[in-house]
Amino acid sequence: MRVVFKVVDRLLERVRHDLARPHEFAAERVGFFVCRAASLAPEGVVVLAHDYRPVKDEHYLDDPSVGAMMGPSAIRKALEFALNNKAGMFHVHMHDHAGRPQFSRTDARESAKFVPDFWNVRPEMPHGALVASKNSLWGLCWYPGMSEPIEIGEFVVIGSPMVFVGNGQ
């Protein structure tokens, strides 16, 4: 199944800028893309990023074993937003390098724990987790009805010029 993630460059720049801000004790920041979705012919989905909701400073847990650990308030706020706005929520954090990023083992383990929880409030929406680098993206999409996440095959950054990641490019 083909999964495409689209985001306007100004929004992505805002996200990168926010994620690069230092935190009092967390080594990195996290947030959520607020998304809608559309089906693609013959089989696929395009996830359309609309906005970004950063996790508030006070909603991080002080856990030196990971770069950033969200507390229950952060998850609850994101769940509430998804429920009230019929939104797909895509968690995002950033690795401080250029080139195609990848999840660390911790990223993969933690995402698999909390992303499917969004189906408790919005079972019809795709949800997911992304990692951004300075100039690229990578991520997984949890699609309704599928137990395992799907790698996002294409990222399209809408700007001038357009940026395509994946799709053989």
Cα(14)–Cα(71) distance, integer angstroms: 23
Q: How far is the CB of 10 from another protein (least distance, A)?
A: 6
68 or 125, CB closer to another protein? 125
Q: Checking DSSP bridges between strand 44-54 and strand 30-40, what pairing results, if any?
A: antiparallel
Phi, psi of 34 (to 5 degrees): -95, 125
99 or 104, CB closer to another protein? 99
Q: How far is the CB of 6 from another protein (least distance, A)?
A: 4
Helix (H) or strand (E) holding 90: strand 88-94
The size of the chain, in residues, is: 169
72 or 168, CB closer to another protein? 168
Radius of gyration from C-alpha coordinates of the chain: 15
Q: How far is the CB of 70 from another protein (least distance, A)?
A: 23
67 or 166, CB closer to another protein? 166
Q: How far is the CB of 20 from another protein (least distance, A)?
A: 21
Q: How far is the CB of 140 from another protein (least distance, A)?
A: 17
Contacts of 118 (CB under 8 A, 6+ apart): 78, 79, 82, 88, 89, 125, 127, 142
Residues that bind another protein (CB under 8 A): 1, 4, 6-8, 10-11, 34-41, 43-46, 48, 50-51, 85-87, 123-125, 143-146, 156, 158-162, 164, 167-169
92 or 156, CB closer to another protein? 156
Reduced to 3 states (helix: H, G, I; strand: E, B; else coil), residue 157 is: strand
